[in-house]
Amino acid sequence: MVYDPSIRLGNIIKVVYSRLLMKTIVMKFGGTSVKDGGYNRIVDILKLYKEQKAIIVVSAIKGVTDELIEVAKVAERGDNKAVQEFLDRNAERHRNEAKLSMKDVDTDVRTKLLQVDDELGHILYSLCYTRDLTPRILDYIMSFGERYSLELAAATLNRRGIKAVGLTGGESGIITDAVFGDANPLMNATKQAVHERLIPMLEKGITPVVGGFAGITKDGIITTFGRGGSDYTATILGAAVDADKIIIWSDVDGMMTADPKLIKSRTIPELTYDEAMELAAFGAKAFHPKSLIPAMEHKIPIYVRNTFRPEGAGTLISESGKKSYSVDIVKAVAVLRGMSIVTIKGPLVGGNIATKILGRLANEGINIKMISQSMSESNLSFVIPQRSLDSCKSIIEFEYLGKEIMDMDSIKDVCIVAIIGSGMRGTPGVAARLFNSLGARKINIVMIAQGSSELNISIAIQEKDLQKSVEAIHEEFMGRT
């Protein structure tokens, strides 16, 4: 800070004091939470946190982002008529949501919605002519779901007596690189800009309502963080203002011990950032995987809670992540379906050859999920999404078979099942318990891998054994539910 003698000491103390006393909390509301008049739920929940200053982040209403992506493709085909139909439907949907959240929708709200409709219409129509849907334009189009949402949220809050200002991610100060569709925040610039814009509002008792998912480049071009990216907005803002906590309000009770669609599972009370990151990598839909990074760096606790059951404790993700139920060696069992295993064989297939082939596949965009290699280096197995199987096999056949490798096999319809928990680190016998629990039910394990972080042990099994396996594992480590 530059010393300015004109600032009186008293003033400095006052400012520092108010900053210290001001606990800020960032709350993000997902697409299902804001649907069907859900903007009112934000107000109800805010009332439970009266003593804190809040920054609100909202997602697009559930389904809107999907439709925007769809209509972008329609526009690229040049189908004006279908674009017009979409625009009508979309305008009507957001008007209906406005009515559900605010009994009478005043002209101010109407004008704002019309402006958003108009801008979206222009871009879609121009796309009908240019017929060139670049990632940059797609990001611009996708960002509109949150544009509507932030207007509706801010208006609902104001209507119910909470002074609020709606801002896009860019307006709130989130500055990113230019990787469209998967942007990364430039944290130093973002921190400064967010401070300049949001702190004065908070000090005046105004609640900033920020549209999630999108930011802008330093040149002012709209970017998005990829699907589910509103969570990232919340943690970026949390880190920028050094929030006390971040709450992700969704439609689930928190992170679950297993996919509730597969078996009866329960909420995990606490997780470390690492554990949560592992779970997110397995597609635990609770949140966007990168979103943990800013919170982790600033040690800001994240709560994942259910808007429809706000009294529930939810899941706390923090540095310690401890204090879970007593048996917390394994906290969750996660699943990736729709996989295939490819095994390549040959003398010394392990070393350089493996690097070469796996690198080649990765360059083709084939996502290798799990690798296992025998000590003899005579064979190497890896798991890839089944949809990539054909292209993987043909690359290997054309380029390596009969040369570096002698033989290739594949197994279809497998899934990866992983147990996750930092309590496994240095605890002997975990793998044995995993294998025994499956062996006792005559379930065959096709492949095994464990990283040296010991945060996760992954196995591959046949898809048909999935349900039984998850049940067995859950019972062994997390008990019956």
230 binds ligand ASP (CB under 6 A): yes
Q: Which neighbouring-strand residues pair with 420?
A: 332, 456
Which listed range, 15-23, 29-37, 139-147, 343-351, lies at the site for Mg ion (CB under 5 A)? 29-37
Q: Which is nearer to ligand ASP, 182 or 475 (CB)?
A: 182
Which listed range, 47-55, 68-76, 96-104, 223-231, lies at the site for Mg ion (CB under 5 A)? 223-231
Q: How far is the CB of 359 from ligand ASP (least distance, A)?
A: 31
Q: Which is nearer to Mg ion, 252 or 447 (CB)?
A: 252
Per-residue tokens: 149 = 């949402």
Backbone dihedral angles phi then psi of residue 266, each to the nearest 5 degrees: -140, 170
Are 327 and 270 contacting, i.e. CB atoms less than 8 angstroms apart? Answer: no
Residue 60 interacts with which of ligand ASP, Mg ion, none, CB < 5 to 8 Å by class: ligand ASP
Q: How far is the CB of 412 from ligand ASP (least distance, A)?
A: 30
Which listed range, 95-103, 224-232, 319-327, 343-351, lies at the site for Mg ion (CB under 5 A)? 224-232
Residue 227 interacts with which of ligand ASP, Mg ion, none, CB < 5 to 8 Å by class: ligand ASP
213 binds ligand ASP (CB under 6 A): yes
Residue type for 330, please?
A: V
39 binds ligand ASP (CB under 6 A): no
Are 447 and 410 contacting, i.e. CB atoms less than 8 angstroms apart? Answer: no
Q: How far, in Å, CA of 279 to CA of 416, rounded?
A: 13
Which listed range, 40-48, 59-67, 273-281, 389-397, lies at the site for ligand ASP (CB under 6 A)? 59-67
Q: How far is the CB of 41 from ligand ASP (least distance, A)?
A: 16
Q: Which is nearer to ligand ASP, 177 or 251 (CB)?
A: 251
Rg (CA), the chain: 25
- Beta strands at 315-318 and 379-385: parallel, antiparallel or unpaired: unpaired
Q: How far, in Å, CA of 434 to CA of 125, rounded?
A: 56
Residue type for 405, please?
A: I
Which of these, 321, 316, 331, 315, lies nearest to 272 by C-alpha position?
A: 321
228 binds Mg ion (CB under 5 A): yes
Q: How far is the CB of 387 from ligand ASP (least distance, A)?
A: 21
Q: Which is nearer to Mg ion, 30 or 423 (CB)?
A: 30
Q: How far is the CB of 151 from ligand ASP (least distance, A)?
A: 15
Are 278 and 456 contacting, i.e. CB atoms less than 8 angstroms apart? Answer: yes
Binding mask 127-146 for ligand ASP (x = CB under 6 A): ------------------x-
Are 403 and 429 contacting, i.e. CB atoms less than 8 angstroms apart? Answer: no
65 binds ligand ASP (CB under 6 A): yes
Are 314 and 305 contacting, i.e. CB atoms less than 8 angstroms apart? Answer: yes
Residue 321 interacts with which of Mg ion, ligand ASP, none, CB < 5 to 8 Å by class: none
Residue 170 interacts with which of ligand ASP, Mg ion, none, CB < 5 to 8 Å by class: none
Q: Which is nearer to ligand ASP, 229 or 294 (CB)?
A: 229
Which listed range, 127-135, 192-200, 225-233, 391-399, lies at the site for ligand ASP (CB under 6 A)? 225-233
Which of these, 56, 59, 25, lies nearest to 210 by C-alpha position?
A: 56
Count interface residues toward Mg ion (CB under 5 A). Answer: 2
Q: Which is nearer to Mg ion, 142 or 357 (CB)?
A: 142
Q: Which neighbouring-strand residues pair with 55?
A: 26
Are 152 and 105 contacting, i.e. CB atoms less than 8 angstroms apart? Answer: no
Q: Which is nearer to ligand ASP, 65 or 456 (CB)?
A: 65
Q: How far, in Å, CA of 70 to CA of 79, rounded?
A: 12
Q: Which is nearer to ligand ASP, 212 or 301 (CB)?
A: 212
Give the long-range contacts of residues 473-477, CB within 8 A, separation 24 or more.
473/330, 473/333, 473/417, 473/419, 473/434, 473/437, 473/438, 474/257, 474/258, 474/263, 474/265, 474/333, 475/437, 476/433, 476/434, 476/436, 476/437, 477/327, 477/329, 477/330, 477/333, 477/419, 477/421, 477/433
CA angle in degrees (0–180, nearest 5) for 409-410-416 = 135
- For the chain, count helices (H), then strands (E): 17, 16
Residue 235 interacts with which of Mg ion, ligand ASP, none, CB < 5 to 8 Å by class: none
Q: How far is the CB of 395 from ligand ASP (least distance, A)?
A: 32
227 binds ligand ASP (CB under 6 A): yes
**Which residues here bind Mg ion, judged by CB under 5 A?**
30, 228
**Which residues here bind ligand ASP, judged by CB under 6 A?**
31, 59-60, 65, 145, 212-213, 227-230
